[in-house]
Structure 1
Amino acid sequence: MTVSQPREPIPEAAPPDELTAGGAVAAPDTPPHRWGFGAFLLVEAVLLATAAFVSVLLGDVQPGQPLPMRVVLLGTMVPTMIAAGVALLITRLRGNGPFTDLRIGWCWADVKIGLKLGVVGLGFTSLAAYVWTQVVGDANATSAISALVEDRRMSVSAAVVMFIYLWLIGPICEEIIYRGLLWGAVERLTWRTERWGRIAAFLVSTAVFAASHLEPLRTTLLLVIAIPIGLARVFTGRLLGSVVAHQVNNFLPAVTILLASLGIAAF
């Protein structure tokens, strides 16, 4: 008579990844981040302080004179890029890093959704901009960057740098701040109600994005611009969709400013 050997226990399957608010995938043992609205307020303070410092540093540029490269780089790019860098650093020091906390990841489905909503948003934005200029006039509808380059010529290299920033780099920086850091801060307060957390994050980030440009006459128009961008963040659950939608929305304005700054076309 033989004695049967005891069976080894069958190892349990690893628990599947959990879907976080908005549909992003996160490991089940990922701790929640430890930053909130205070982090966003700090980033906004850095943005405003840097912009004010750069404005004083550069001084006034005479109308009709070519814009030096330093004005293009420092006046329009540096403040937002520094603020976005501070936001990324905060997620590293007080959370799980930007890829996890801000839900930065590559997905072709997100790109497609971002493209679709960006094109739709561009159509609505163009229509809203036309109506807006009819109501308030061309002068009051001009953006701060458009006013910066109006009646001034740029060198080709400066104009190209401005175009690349407005089209590609600027949207990435702004999305990190508003649909990344601010969105995560709102979700942190509303984590018990996932659905309402997403809605609250969408509404708050859309409103703050429009108001943070400090262009009161264009706030309503900026709200129209921000809605499809925020919807891309809602539908995908990640930052890539809103970045792509933002870049699509910025393409035509960036081309217009490029041509105008080179003297090829007028505003």
Structure 2
Amino acid sequence: MDRANENPPAVSDGLVRGAHWGLVAFIAGFGAYHLMNLVLTAVLTGRFTGFDDAEEMPDLGPLLLLAFVPNLMLGLAPVLAARRWGSFRELGVLPRLRDIKVGLACGGFALLAGYLANLMLLPVFGTDLESGNPLAGLAQGVGDNPLWLALAALIVVLVAPLTEEVLLRGALWAGLAAHRIPQWAVLALTAAVFAQLHGEPSRTLALFVQGLAIGAARLISGRTGSSVVAHAANNLPPALLLLGAS
């Protein structure tokens, strides 16, 4: 395990109104994410209904970018908070060679753990578990347009893991560790938030298990970059399967 985890910074370092800046960044990013989702829902509700012919439907591809705006809030808050009150070194986002190795191993384990968990839950939830592919919902709106599907895959495999991990295994992890929360508890808490963030009740258990595996990369290496790699590796096979099927 990285020695940085064995000697966390003093609790007094980087405090904002009594809390570590990472916790403040997490609350801000998490809140902004849900607020932006509410705003987009209110603005877009009813805008794409009432079309008699599928050919009359507007191209929904550009909505991919708009749909990703809430996700950007997850990563923006930690970056701004680190710049204002903390340090980018605490986030440890840029992966090193060891981070890549650890991340790929944990990402592979996350895939296996998620598959086994979904397999056990299949008799309970049935076809509801089809939402396991992170691109499925986006693909329904863009049809078989390879450009938009490729953009969706790029977002899910590269950008979403970065923003989510900067918030969870970056800011939240650093904030909890600074307040001397045990590492096993930090791992479990960040995995629970990871599962809740995706908003898929039928897959909560599977997402929690995958969150543990992805968080293990952060625990082993002591750096967020390894969990970014693990998250990207976890998202890559479903994206490739969807692109191959199109």
TM-score of the superposition, structure 2-length normalised? 0.83
Structure 2 residue 244 is matched with structure 1 residue 244: no
Structure 1 residue 145: Cα displacement: 5.2
- Partner residue of 2:119 out of 121, 125, 130: 130
- Partner residue of 1:93 out of 84, 89, 93: 84
Structure 1 residue 138: Cα displacement: 1.2
Q: Are 1:132 and 1:141, in contact at CA under 8 Å, matched by a contact in 2?
A: no
Structure 2 residue 103 is matched with structure 1 residue 114: yes
Relative to structure 1, the CA distance from residue 231 to residue 150 in structure 2 (aligned partners, 3 Å threshold; closer, same or farther) is same
Q: Are 2:135 and 2:239, in contact at CA under 8 Å, matched by a contact in 1?
A: no
Q: What is aligned with 1:255?
A: 240
1:77-114: CA deviations, max 9, x gaps?
21111331121001111112x2x121234321111111
Query: Partners of 1:248 and 1:187 in 2: how far apart?
Result: 26
Summarize the alignment of residues 40-189 of structure 1 with structure 2, pairs less than 5 Å apart.
40-60=26-46, 61-62=48-49, 68-75=60-67, 77-96=68-87, 98=88, 100-143=89-132, 146-150=136-140, 153-189=143-179
SS in 1 for 2:105: helix
Matched to 1:21, the amino acid is N
Query: Partners of 2:13 and 2:234 in 1: how far apart?
Result: 32
Q: Are 2:118 and 2:129, in contact at CA under 8 Å, matched by a contact in 1?
A: no
Asked which structure has the greater CA Rg, the reply is: 1
Q: What is aligned with 2:214?
A: 229
Structure 2 residue 21 is matched with structure 1 residue 21: no
Relative to structure 1, the CA distance from residue 145 to residue 156 in structure 2 (aligned partners, 3 Å threshold; closer, same or farther) is closer
Unaligned runs of 5+ in 1: 1-17, 191-195
Query: Partners of 1:108 and 1:66 in 2: how far apart?
Result: 45
TM-score of the superposition, structure 1-length normalised? 0.77
1:205-243: CA deviations, max 9, x gaps?
011111122222221111121111010010000011111
Q: Which runs of 4+ in 1 moved over 4 A?
A: 62-67
Structure 1 residue 67: Cα displacement: 5.1
SS in 1 for 2:93: coil
Summarize the alignment of residues 199-218 of structure 1 with structure 2, pairs less than 5 Å apart.
199-218=184-203
Q: Among all aligned residue pairs of Structure 1 and Structure 2, give the percentage whose two residues are the same amino acid.
A: 27
Higher normalized helix content (fraction of residues): 2
Q: Are 2:22 and 2:78, in contact at CA under 8 Å, matched by a contact in 1?
A: no
Structure 1 residue 139: Cα displacement: 2.7
> Could you say which structure has the greater relative contact order, defined with CA pairs below 8 angstroms and 6 or more residues apart?
2
Unaligned runs of 5+ in 2: 16-20
1:112-151: CA deviations, max 9, x gaps?
1111111122122223223323321113552575234337
The aligned length equals: 232
Structure 1 residue 22: Cα displacement: 5.5
Matched to 1:78, the amino acid is V
Query: Partners of 2:190 and 2:69 in 1: how far apart?
Result: 22
Query: Partners of 1:84 and 1:222 in 2: how far apart?
Result: 20
